[in-house]
Structure 1
């Protein structure tokens, strides 16, 4: 399974330029590598499976299989894939929880598995269903413990806490024990806890799980402002692909421990051969719209007809203008709209086509 659009590449900042950024006290990055750098990283587990009534055989499971990529300081990158693809294993190696079986891994010039304590002060982590908060303590007390653990200066702690409470709408929850919070409330509490010590890197695993539409919008806006104001590097894994579309310019797709794609969302649509949908309302019911490919553009096809409304699909990489102009010239047009491609369907097609 090959990679697309250059998996092992220099990370880029928000303006698309290649960068290598250092800071005081940080190990120099060899060869101008990214703030987060993986080179041929592997993680192999030995699993015993039943092979008879009393016999078990040892099998090798390659959870991560030779992944290479770089992320520049300040990037927000989506890291997506199906369950069991290797996303969480990658994150656990980046935080030092797991040690790679092979390859080279650095975060801010630090080897996570060898200097886990040193790295902990520079990263924040939110692991989906697993909380970092104390179950029986009120939310405020969990934050006070974080304050002491990370030795956060009092003034900075207050500023960070007040900002998180305001933007994540936690004011009414500070005195509530964590075990009494809903999943969505706890997720917002976990995000705040991960940011109290001003981490340079934030790893988010399903940050909007269990949130309603309004809360999701608040979390996304909070993450945008955090990245813009403080330059926090964010690696985001999620099954809610709206998170990716609204937050990340770059996306990496992983399956069976290997990178299938690394590039822009627009490029992902091209690789997945996705289509946009033109929804047309006519003045009266007519047979399916039929157009000459030379005038309307190649790849246009009628999808569905319901009364006066018709759906036409066309390649996502193509402009809608020639198609709209041709329909307006040849049919009694009342109204129309263009629907963007469903990124979930694009990724599903990539999985199906993968060998």
Structure 2
């Protein structure tokens, strides 16, 4: 998924004013009649509901609006340059580039349109400068230059529910059974290399958008595994669903340790993620016996989080989990 891009935008230059004088068959010394130049086109950013990545910016890095046309004879106004509208997904954050970057915009509504740089103003023709004192002005105004900006675009997915957990905990499988999404699923770590989205359908408008992000490992904040940059995609989520791999109990895995690893990596990215509502989901309970289940429940009770036990493969416990998610 392309979720970051750097672009350069430039508004159109204003057209120059015209220097001309009225000349006709029986008018040899007419007054000034140079028209004004047209305004340059502006650059706009508009969110498009049909886009979900910044891939259109992967190869095109520069966007330039049209220049205004120069003024004409007979006081004719030059044509304005056409505005340039750049389409981007909802959830795009626009930042200035440079030594002191700052957030300019956070576009979350579909169809939202914002002007990034305004086109240059057209110059005045010499007709505008006539007066009782200066009856034949032989000069005109130059159109102003359109501004240039260097910006960075950062996409944060708009999802209601964020699935987090260690690699191979079953996040993609859960996404596929809760929604119609078809992420890649395999029995090895880091099958998911980029965020996946799915919609869990309910009674409209109760549909929930669920985001499955790549698995985190201990040390991800220091660059191990796939890192933690994907965590930006769950910053807007209303609730986090923390999946734990119940099958680890078969090899003496410690679920509480796994839980702590993920919580620590979240804190390294942003402490605000720790404040989000979170529920625990113990997955793969179909492979556990009664003793192992008791062991798991006893350990996870210490987190003081609401716990759901499921099997994404056999669909056991999914209805209870769905009901809980719809509460948000």
TM-score range, shorter chain: under 0.3
Whose RCO is larger (CA < 8 A, sep 6+)?
Answer: 1
Higher strand proportion (structure 1 or 2)? 1
Indicate the structure (1 or 2) with the bigger Cα radius of gyration: 2
